[in-house]
A and B are shown apart, each in its own frame.
Chain A
């Protein structure tokens, strides 16, 4: 099964009031990392919610491998291979690490032991802590549980909403290393990030959103090298 690309095309919409998304286009390619960056209120997380279906855009469509999935519920998109890691409350705190992963595989009818082994080798700390309740882990470890839970469905696309929010710089580097490894498994990774500089450094593609529109779209390296992007969004 070759992983499929996910794309949200010309999205318009918001939460009832004024539009937050004003025609932005974001997407994820198999085996690569895409990053959405931008100032506060630019609609980064909103765009991601539109991809998952937590928000129904007023206009525009979401395509998974060319198929229009705009009408599907979040649950249906998950079973089609779109996995999502929310920014907060992204684990089951009273369940053990292993149980968190098992719930991630809830929809799967085949055996999931093999996938769990893969996740344990991607995130070795999870194997060590497999019997411990996820709520007792540190912030960085909890994020790994969250990503691992999402990976249990063997997704085509992995959506990460600010995976490094609230963790220390050291843990952030480690998480980005892990995300690079996830990418090597062939999954299409798309993440929203506040730590724009570090995120663009590992990104194959970067979207700079402003007011719900694409301001710049290029490879991560090109965006980092662009003088205007550096001046306006990366603080010099």
Chain B
């Protein structure tokens, strides 16, 4: 009995808990960027998914370059070394879009919806450019050790029916997400610029009266959002794979995460990321194998006991979005409404 319980929990950990925690961390990093941009610039940036894709593309190119030089950081993925460069490139791109598109509309004091539509335009342009450079095919670029704990070895060692499997990319994602979020919160809470950012998000007119320079605050915000987007994109790509279309589609769960948590609230975006990820993974997991540990043979259902087939996973984000917007449009942490 205890044996079965342990095995079933390991099964859930392998297929639900760890994947959802990893995916949730990736969504959280993306959603925090969306939420920061909204808090400071007051529009929903639809091009955020493309920032993630762009950062990942740069990381892939650099990974190939480093690999061709025979440059490998031991058991870690090469992409890890490329992160600083990818972040710089993505930040430069974000500042370029700010300079060439968003600043124009802001100076004309355009309504937020105009900026949203402009960001849709930026999204399509970047989307096309990225496909032009890197193609539309799936790219696997995770090298280094694949598993930190292997299912077979774990089974042999414990004698359980299921083996715990922990992939390196899962651990990397979670560790890097924790570090990035801790650094972000330290920055927002403790530094002069971080406090000015929060003040600007709280009350723009009063911030201007207090002498806060909006242009420098906006630039810092773009750089932070671009850095987080690059981390999110590269970690997602290492964990699964890179494909421009998949990153384009990631925009939906990322937005859902930001809205569930409360737009403009970084803590909310993180909580939202995990809510969306766990809902998606739990709704699309087939529980048949899990139930085998508890139900007698004759009670076993014939189907897979799967709420939704994985092709429909985006429906989960949509449902969450619709429910939140109907029931509590400000999200869990009382953010703004889009």
Contact = CB atoms under 8 A, between A and B. Distances in A.
Contact of A95 (B202, B205, B211, B212): B202
A115 interface: no
Interface in A69-119: 74-75, 78-79, 84, 86, 89-95, 99, 102-104, 106-107
Interface stretch (B159-167, B191-199, B247-255): B191-199
Contacts of B212: 103, 106
Given A99-B195, A103-B196, A106-B196, A84 B209 contact: yes
Given A94-B198, A95-B199, A89 B206 contact: yes
A74 B206 CA distance: 11
A110 B51 CA distance: 39
A149 interface: yes
Contact of B211 (A90, A99, A106): A106
A107 B205 CA distance: 15
A90 B203 CA distance: 8
B70 to A, nearest CB: 51
Which interface class (under 10, 10 to 19, 20 to 34, 35 or more) fits A?
20 to 34
A74 B212 CA distance: 12
Contact of B205 (A86, A99, A102): A86
B309 interface: no
A79 B208 CA distance: 12
Contacts of A93: 202-203
11 contacts: A89-B205, A92-B203, A92-B207, A94-B201, A99-B199, A102-B192, A103-B196, A103-B210, A104-B210, A106-B192, A106-B196
Given A78-B211, A91-B203, 18 more contacts: A75-B209, A79-B211, A86-B206, A89-B205, A89-B206, A90-B206, A92-B199, A92-B203, A94-B198, A94-B202, A95-B195, A95-B202, A99-B195, A99-B199, A102-B195, A104-B210, A106-B192, A149-B210
